[in-house]
Amino acid sequence: MNATYLEPVDSTVQRATSSEPLAVLAARSACGLEHSIQRFTATSDQNLGHLEVQAAQDVQSLLREAVQRGAQAKADNTPPLCPVCQQKLSRLSADHPRTFDTRFGTITVNRARGYCKRCRKWRVPADTALGLAETAGYSPAVQEMAALLASKMPVEEASVVLEHLTGVKLPRATLDREARRQGQRAQRLRSQLDQQAATQKPQLELTLEPYQMIIQMDAWNIRERDDWGQSAVLRRRGQEPERWHWVYIGTCFRLDHRGQSAGGRPVISERGFVATRTGMDGLREQLHAEALRRGLGQAAGALVISDGAVWIWRLADDRFPQARQRLDFYHAVQHLAAVGRTLFGEDQAKLKAWLKPLVQQLKNESAIKVIGQLQQALAQLPGGPAAEAVQREVNYFHEHEDRMDYRAGRRRGEPIGSGPVEATCRQNQCRFKRPGQFWSQTGDEALLCLETFWRNDRWRLLFPHTSFDPAQN
């Protein structure tokens, strides 16, 4: 048997415009489902997937009709008050139609419009009640789909994946625009939340055990094209139109929220993320707010761990002045290895034999002892570039000596490496640093902001209708 009857039915053709009760429409859909089951049962070349697709189509127009009627009833039921200031609206007029796409197809709602004398603006209260206020033609569920997909994958893929999985058609450019709009909404909400966190007095929470707050920062490069349409002009001037910009990343967590997986891998149950293209100032304020939300105010102490970039220590001194500072252990080891390569060149065996006890010493004893060994090695060199290179590393260890308390840190059960933030960087880069991708600053920030809402388990603040909780998955 062939499967021509499985061809997608255009839901707009089937649109029920009658005033029949939903129960009647549902009965009609149920008949359709019965037929589909019979055809499916009698067909040898179809598996359950065929029935799943067909069944969704059989009920599509019923669902669309239900959403249409619900939206209209809600609009009719919305009091004529300004959604911003609650003032009663004047010069009311009815029947302003608005057409938009929902998860189940296109619907049109007639809304009332009125003038708010206090705001001096025309208002459509039903739009706010339905969650349409800030979007151009998409229901909240579709807004969420665009936001989630665009923050997880390139928009050209997102558009195809969305249509394939849900039937919702959002052309690439539209999906992009909608996702950015949602990202900008997320940015506004983030500023509000950050402001609240910075001004609110910390709630006195009963903490059974004093805990430390761990804070980590890093940065990675993103490729952006700043001057769209100006490429030829810029090239004639000898400039390249694309540029690399820094994305700043931060993460924070309570040390007592760090545990171990069944396999012994360290896992952190609750962790705050920050990712921003708005420069170090943006990172500083966002990370501070995030740390406050995660309990910095009640922490017994804080610890900043980083790879040693100067800007990070400056930022830490500035915004987390009480925090202790620790250089990422693996970066310190890399600097030891650099000395080893200067001393032993390509002789891997000698290099390893020299390096291993030093790494152990750094981890289990003290940085001062390691510096002593480096100085001994330096004294045996005749001078020249090799000696200069080793001297540089000796200076480096002197400079960070106070940040190399690995033994004490390990005894207290604190991390000595900045693994979590580096993992975050890698995950971000998978999405934001693909070959051939260009970004604009505003677009980046919007999508990065969506990503942080998702990862911080605040997705529901943006899309209250969603029942999905990333923290539980």
Return the DSSP state at 226.
-
- Min dist CB 117 to Zn ion, Å, is 8
Q: How many angstroms separate the CA atoms of 15 and 13, rounded?
A: 5
- Min dist CB 139 to Zn ion, Å, is 25
Going residue by residue from 31 to 70, which x/- string records binding to Zn ion, judged by CB under 5 A?
----------------------------------------
Q: How many angstroms separate the CA atoms of 346 and 344, rounded?
A: 6
Helix (H) or strand (E) holding 428: helix 419-432
Identify which of residues 82 and 275 has a Cβ nearer to Zn ion in the complex. Answer: 82
| Spatial CA neighbour of 370 closest among 379, 382, 360, 381 | 360
- Min dist CB 76 to Zn ion, Å, is 21
Segment lying near Zn ion (by CB under 5 A), choices 86-94, 127-135, 302-310, 426-434:
86-94
**CB count, 10 Å around CB of 467?**
5
Identify which of residues 120 and 201 has a Cβ nearer to Zn ion in the complex. Answer: 120
Q: Rule CB under 5 A: is residue 85 a binding residue for Zn ion?
A: yes
Identify which of residues 89 and 158 has a Cβ nearer to Zn ion in the complex. Answer: 89
- Min dist CB 128 to Zn ion, Å, is 11
Return the structure tokens found at 437: 């991708």
Phi, psi of 349 (to 5 degrees): -60, -45
Q: How many angstroms separate the CA atoms of 40 and 197, rounded?
A: 57
Identify which of residues 86 and 239 has a Cβ nearer to Zn ion in the complex. Answer: 86
User: Interaction with Zn ion in 448-467: which residues (CB under 5 A)?
Assistant: none
User: Interaction with Zn ion in 332-371: which residues (CB under 5 A)?
Assistant: none
- Min dist CB 92 to Zn ion, Å, is 14
User: Interaction with Zn ion in 195-234: which residues (CB under 5 A)?
Assistant: none
Residues whose CB is less than 8 angstroms from the CB of residue 55 and which lie 6 or more positions away in sequence, other chains included: 33, 36
Beta pairing partners, 276: 248
Identify which of residues 15 and 96 has a Cβ nearer to Zn ion in the complex. Answer: 96
Identify which of residues 80 and 131 has a Cβ nearer to Zn ion in the complex. Answer: 80
- Distance from chain centroid for Cα 318: 26
Buried b (16+ CB within 10 A) or exposed e, 219-237: bbebbbbeeeeeeeeeeee
Residue 408's alpha-carbon distances to 326, 374, 394, 413, 418, in angstroms, are 11, 22, 22, 9, 17
Identify which of residues 84 and 359 has a Cβ nearer to Zn ion in the complex. Answer: 84
- Min dist CB 132 to Zn ion, Å, is 18
Segment lying near Zn ion (by CB under 5 A), choices 78-86, 239-247, 405-413, 459-467:
78-86
**Is 379 strand, coil or helix?**
helix
Return the DSSP state at 274.
E
Segment lying near Zn ion (by CB under 5 A), choices 46-54, 80-88, 382-390, 394-402:
80-88
Identify which of residues 82 and 249 has a Cβ nearer to Zn ion in the complex. Answer: 82
Q: Rule CB under 5 A: is residue 304 a binding residue for Zn ion?
A: no
Identify which of residues 123 and 271 has a Cβ nearer to Zn ion in the complex. Answer: 123
- Min dist CB 91 to Zn ion, Å, is 13
Which amino acid is located at 276 in the chain?
A: T
- Min dist CB 85 to Zn ion, Å, is 3
**Is 359 strand, coil or helix?**
helix
Segment lying near Zn ion (by CB under 5 A), choices 85-93, 294-302, 387-395, 457-465:
85-93
User: Interaction with Zn ion in 114-143: which residues (CB under 5 A)?
Assistant: 116, 118-119
Beta pairing partners, 464: none
- Min dist CB 125 to Zn ion, Å, is 10
Helix (H) or strand (E) holding 204: none
- Min dist CB 124 to Zn ion, Å, is 12
Candidate list 22, 33, 59, 84; residue touching Zn ion; CB under 5 A: 84
- Min dist CB 254 to Zn ion, Å, is 42
Q: How many angstroms separate the CA atoms of 59 and 12, rounded?
A: 13
Q: How many angstroms separate the CA atoms of 13 and 21, rounded?
A: 19
> Are the C-beta atoms of 381 and 339 separated by less than 8 Å?
no
Segment lying near Zn ion (by CB under 5 A), choices 39-47, 87-95, 341-349, 395-403:
87-95
Candidate list 25, 51, 82, 275; residue touching Zn ion; CB under 5 A: 82
Return the DSSP state at 138.
B
Looking at 48-187, which runs of residues are DSSP E strands? 90-102, 105-116, 121-123
| Binding interface with Zn ion (CB under 5 A) | 82, 84-85, 87, 116, 118-119
